[in-house]
Chain A
Amino acid sequence: MACIEAHDLRKTFGTTVALDGVDLRVEEGGIVGLIGPNGAGKTTALNAMLGLIPYQGELKVQGRDPWHERARLMRDVCFIADVAVLPRWMRVGQALDYVAGVHPRFDRARAEALLANTTIKRSSKVREISKGMVTQLHLALVMAIDAPLLVLDEPTIGLDLLYRKHFYDTLLSDYFDRKRTIFLATHQVGEVEHMLTRVLFMDRGRIVFDRGMEEVESSYAEVAVHPERLTAARALGPMHEREGFGRRILLFHGVTRLQLESLGEVRTPSITDLFIAVVGGRAGAAPPATT
């Protein structure tokens, strides 16, 4: 069974098209990154998957229809929304009691163990602790839920560097402890690219790029071209060209490394560069050389 299966998923808000026919299949296991600029439709797509908004088209998450079976689905899916949404009046102990009381898959001992690594006091109210600590608390609650799918929407927005690192370290060690699928939407590409197993680019309501990270590494290459080899390099049909360190840097798809090595230094492009090449080009922001 696929974890997430969407076919021609559409959503409009008034005249604004937020999802313009999304087709997606996510198998169990793996860390999938949904990358897109602001307003690309990432949050709308996640909200549809979490049963928070109605939609047109077909959508199954963990084999269920999110809009009609949200409460049941939430036993198998846990999510952290884009900003701190833990109720500010709640005490840490109350949050543990409540989730333990309503969630059949919540392991309280695990949540307590995760909180023991922090300075969060059981008697503190959410409003009294820092934003980073609220995220740690939320993460501890979610990590203690043994659900096959974890959905994160810009989980580290507004956090400082240390908390971000801690967040992703916790996430990653949990992922290796027990295989579950993590579906992560963000526009902070740099901090997640090393952990992804698959990357999706979203732009203007559509998935415009969908590759496994192995495929990215094997079939995309970036070359800092020697100036005298530029014409030869351009003849190979780069998908994107930019300036960097005094050299033209060309991004190729499906050209063997052997062919490229004579042109300059070859390396695997970062997700950011790939993103700019794919989405930046579509947005018309890329230099004319790409067309």
Chain B
Amino acid sequence: MPLATRSAPRPLYWSVRRELWENRSIYLAPLAVAALALIGFVIRLAWLPGRMRVAAALPPMQQHHALAEPYSFVATLLMATTSVVAVVYCLDAFQGERRDRSVLFWKSLPVSDTTTVLAKASVPFVILPLLCVAVAWATHLIMLVLSSIALLASGMSAALPWTEMSFVRMSGLLLYHMIAVHALWYAPIYGWLLLVSAAARRAAFLWALVPPLAIWLVERIAFNTSYFAAMLQSLLVGGAEAHVMNSPGNVLDPMTTHVTPGAFVSSPGLWIGLALAAAFLAMAVRLRRQQGPV
């Protein structure tokens, strides 16, 4: 049997790889942002020893803010980048292959529509959040090493940035935040965008916005209420509130933020959102099966 000598097919693995081949911005965008952040940080290093002397005179909390701020800022920047990449990716995921007719090639191979949808969904749900954490982790490490070198070169102790920034805890917090908010809480958003991409023949961006606006409008005029708008608002910002308790400051600063995973997993909003996301993806599978080239 000649088939036995060939390696077993791995459609999901190769489908994910092909997404990364096609959409190189998935990893190039975060890397480019990290590179820009590092360039800025290197310039900033010139003033670091002076800044450290000023900071030494500040109360502990302000000292902490002054030192940790660039790190949480870089992490936030990377999060924003991967979110933008995720939205752009989702809107084009299914429309792109129908527009260039390559869907006929993909469908000529023994890869099911479910596998294809899961592979495409894995980009916003798994790959981008993990990539964001990994790039942030590497960037933070480089920033800490550069700070240490700058401080040692001016005869100061290199310990303070490491303790104030608490590298391990910030990485852990970022990972938790990416999984809780970006992968799980925002799941219905990405699910919706993927569904719109599978359904719309063109202008996916408009189709993504029109139905929510229409529901809001009808509700507003018919009942003079705005439950739907409140729901959308909780979808956009509720995740951040549900998964941590933080005093004013950056959500990624472990000194001021306390994670509340118990409250997060028991919040009904999370589960309603995940159910919606699953429904959207199931509909996307059906549409992928039915839709031909546009």
Contact = CB atoms under 8 A, between A and B. Distances in A.
Given A83-B101, A85-B101, A94-B21, A101 B107 contact: no
A71 B111 contact: yes
Interface in B204-241: none
A72 B110 contact: yes
B6 A104 contact: yes
23 contacts: A50-B108, A51-B107, A52-B104, A53-B292, A54-B290, A70-B112, A70-B289, A71-B112, A73-B110, A74-B108, A79-B108, A81-B105, A85-B101, A85-B104, A86-B105, A88-B100, A98-B18, A102-B9, A102-B14, A103-B109, A104-B6, A106-B6, A138-B105
Give the interface size bracket for A toward B. Answer: 35 or more
B70 interface: no
Contacts, number: 91
B12 to A, nearest CB: 9
Nearest to A147: B110
B26 to A, nearest CB: 13
B28 interface: no
A74 B110 contact: yes
Nearest to B101: A85
Contacts of B18: 90, 94, 98
Contacts of A91: 21
A87 B100 contact: yes
B3 interface: yes
B113 interface: yes
Give the interface size bracket for B toward A. Answer: 20 to 34
B39 interface: no
A164 interface: no
Contacts of B3: 104-105
B15 interface: yes
Interface in B161-217: none
A87 B105 contact: yes
Nearest to A108: B6
Contacts of B102: 85-88
A290 interface: no
Contacts of B17: 97-98, 101
Nearest to B5: A107
Contacts of B108: 50, 74, 78-81
